[in-house]
Amino acid sequence: MSDITTSKPWRRLETLAAASRKFRTIDLFDADPDRAGAFSIEAAALYLDWSKNKISREAMSALVDLARAAGLEAAIARMVSGEKINTTENRAVLHVALRDFSGRSYVVDGVDVAPQIAAERRKMRDFADKYERGGLIGFSGAPIDTIVNIGIGGSDLGPLMAVEALRPYWLGGRRAFFVSNVDGQHLGDTLEALDPSRTLFIVASKTFTTQETMTNAESARAWFLGKGGKERDIARHFIALSTNERAVRAFGVAPENMFVFWDFVGGRYSLWSAIGLSIALQCGYAVFEAMLRGACAMDEHFRAAPLEANMPAILALVGVWNRNFMGAAAHAVLPYDQHLHRLPAFLQQLDMESNGKSATLSGARAPCATGPVLFGEPGTNGQHAFYQLIHQGTDLISADFIAAAKSATPLGDHHEKLLANFLAQPEALMLGKDEAQVRAALAAEGVSADAAGRLAPHKVFPGDRPTNAILFERLTPGALGALVALYEHKVFAQGAIWGVNSFDQWGVELGKTLAMKILPEIAPLGQAKPPPEGHDGSTRRLIERINAWRASKEGWL
Ligand code: G6Q
C-alpha cells in the first residue's frame, strides 16, 4: 500500500481538523439536531454513540473515504478468506472461524479447518459437561471442583477477563483461579487456598515453551506431588491447551487430555478456542457458546455492513481521527461495570500488541502515529484517580465509556448512580466549563472577585474531550462476545488503515532473549557470584547490587 498520509482523504482530513479548531463539539449538536441519531449505531445488541467526538459529518465521510483508500473492505475479505495476512509469521488469521456456526468453510493451505474447529468444540463441551455434572473425579475419590488456568498473555488475559465478566453465570460450588506471573508469589498465593485432590490444572500455552507458564506448570506439578498426588494421578489433574502436541506429551499430559488449537489463532485472539476452556468450565459450556455466538453476530455485521454503517469500522475511524488528526496520544477504556474490571488489561494487550508498531507491512517506517497508549479502570473508581488528567491535563485523551442499562446484581439505587456517572462524565468532558461560568459559580457562592480571579484558572475545564459510549441492555455472554469482537475488529481496521501487521508481536522478543542471558548471572540465594560481564553499566551494577543482597541468607521480615 502506498503512503496513506499522501492520499486525498488524509489531506482532506487535515484541512477539516484545522478547521475544527474554530468551533466546539457542542456547536455540532446545535447546528445539527439529528447529530446524536446520525452518529450512533446498533449492531449485535450493542449500541455505539460517537457523537461526542469533534467530528463533523464531512469529516466522517472523509474518514470512510480514508478507510476505502486504505483498502479496508478488501482487507476484511482477505482475513475471512483464510489468506495469510500475518505475513511476517506466514499465518492466516481466523479467529472468526472459531465462532462461526453457519457451516461456512474456512480453507487454510487447501484444507477446510471448520470441521476440526467443530470437533474441538464438541470435545470441550463434553469435558465441560462432565465437570459440571461432578464427573471429573480426583485422586481422593471426590469430584474436582476447582480449576487453575496456568498461562500468560493471550493464554491468560482473555479467559480471565471473560470469567470475571461472566461472574453471574458461574456454576455453583465451582472455583476458577488464574496464574500467569513467573513471580512465584502468584502461584504460591493461589495454591494456599487449594485442595490438590479437587483441583484441575489447565496448562494453557500455544507454544508450550513459554518460560513463565512452563515454570508455573512444573512448580504446580511438584506441589501436587508433594501434597499427596501420585504420578499416576497427574493424568486426571493436569490437562493442556496447546498447538504443540509433542511438548505436551513430554510434559506428561496424555493426548486425550489435550485440547488443541491452530497456528491461525493468534494468542491474543485465542479465548474463542480451546484457550477458553476455563470459561466453559466455570460457567458451563452453553454460556461459552453463547459468548461465541455474540461474537459471531458482530463478525457477520463487520463482514456485511457498508463502512459508513459498520460499528467496528466506525470505532476504528473515530480512533484514527483522534490519534492522527486531533493529536490524542492515549486512549482510555472505562467500563462502568465491575465485572468488566479486567477488560482494560485485556484490551491493552489486544490494542497495544497489535498496533504498537513503527514498521508498515512493506517494511517502511510508518508515516504517521500508530496505536495509542491504552489504559483504563472501571468507573466510578477511575473518577477518583486519573480522570483529573483527562479533564484538565495538557494531553488530549480519548475514551470509551461502557455500560449495561441493567445490572446483574441490582442493589438499592447503586446502578442508577453508576449510570448517572457514566452519563455525566462524557457530558462534562465534552462541555467543559469556561472562565465566565467558573466566575459566575464562584460569585454565587459568595467568593470575592479577587479570589475568583485567582481560583478560576484551576477550575476551568477546556471541554472538547472526545468520548464514545458503548451500551448494552445487560452484560450477557452474548453481549460480552459482541463487545470483544467489536474491539478485535476495531484494532484490525486501524491496523489496515495504518498499514501495519496487527497480528505479529516481534517487539516482545528482545527482552525475552536478554532475560535468558541474565538468568544464570543471578546469584542463587545465599551464594556469591562473580561480577557479570558485558551489559551496559547500569544493568551490570544492578545485577551486582541484587547479588550482594542475595548473598546473605538473612530473613526478610
Ligand atoms: C499474544 C502473544 C502472547 C502470548 C503469550 C503466551 O498474542 O502472542 O501474549 O499469548 O506469550 O504464549 P503461549 O500461549 O505460547 O504460552
Closest CA to 163 of 128, 138, 191, 130: 128
> Does 485 have pLDDT greater than 70?
yes
DSSP-assigned states of every residue in 276-310: GHHHHHHH-HHHHHHHHHHHHHHHHHHHHS-GGG-
* 186 counts as catalytic: no
Ligand 1 pocket mutation, candidates 206, 262, 505, criterion most atoms within 8 A of CB: 206
> Does 557 have pLDDT greater than 60?
no
Distance CA 139, CA 57 (A): 65
Q: Name which residue sits closest to atom 9 of ligand 1, judged by CA.
A: 153
Q: Name which residue sits closest to atom 8 of ligand 1, judged by CA.
A: 267
pLDDT, averaged across the chain: 97
DSSP-assigned states of every residue in 384-443: GTTHHHHHHSSS-EEEEEEEESS-SS--TTHHHHHHHHHHHHHHHHHH-B-HHHHHHHHH
| 259-277 pLDDT per residue, tens | 999 999 999 999 999 999 9
> What is the whole-number distance in angstroms between the Cα of residue 267 and the centre of ligand 1?
5
Q: Name which residue sits closest to atom 1 of ligand 1, judged by CA.
A: 267
* 384 counts as catalytic: yes
**Pocket residues: Cβ below 6 A from ligand 1:** 152-155, 205-207, 210, 213, 266-268, 353, 505
Q: Name which residue sits closest to atom 5 of ligand 1, judged by CA.
A: 153
Mean pLDDT of 101-128: 97
* 123 counts as catalytic: no
| 381-413 pLDDT per residue, tens | 999 999 999 999 999 999 999 999 999 999 999
- The number of the ligand 1 atom at minimal distance from the alpha carbon of 153 is 9
Retrieve residue 398's grid coordinates.
480519548
> Does 553 have pLDDT greater than 80?
no
For the whole prediction, is pTM greater than 0.85?
yes
- The number of the ligand 1 atom at minimal distance from the alpha carbon of 268 is 7
Closest CA to 292 of 448, 488, 105: 488
Residue tagged active-site, from 227, 406, 417, 512: 512
* pLDDT cut 70: percent of the chain above it: 99
> What is the whole-number distance in angstroms between the Cα of residue 156 and the centre of ligand 1?
9
Distance CA 169, CA 172 (A): 9
| 201-242 pLDDT per residue, tens | 999 999 999 999 999 999 999 999 999 999 999 999 999 999
- According to the 3-state scheme, what is the secondary structure of 192-243? CCCCHHHEEEEEECCCCCCHHHHHHHHHHHHHHHHCCCCHHHHHHHEEEEEC
Burial class (CB in 10 A: 0-12, 13-18, 19+), 465: buried
| 140-173 pLDDT per residue, tens | 999 999 999 999 999 999 999 999 999 999 999 9
Asked if residue 331 lies in contact with residue 398, where contact means CB atoms within 8 angstroms, the answer is yes
Residue tagged active-site, from 289, 353, 488, 521: 353
Whole-angstrom CA distances from 339 to 154, 342, 364, 418 are 19, 8, 41, 13
Retrieve residue 112's grid coordinates.
477446510
Peptide linkage before 539 cis (omega within 30 of 0): no
Distance CA 440, CA 94 (A): 58
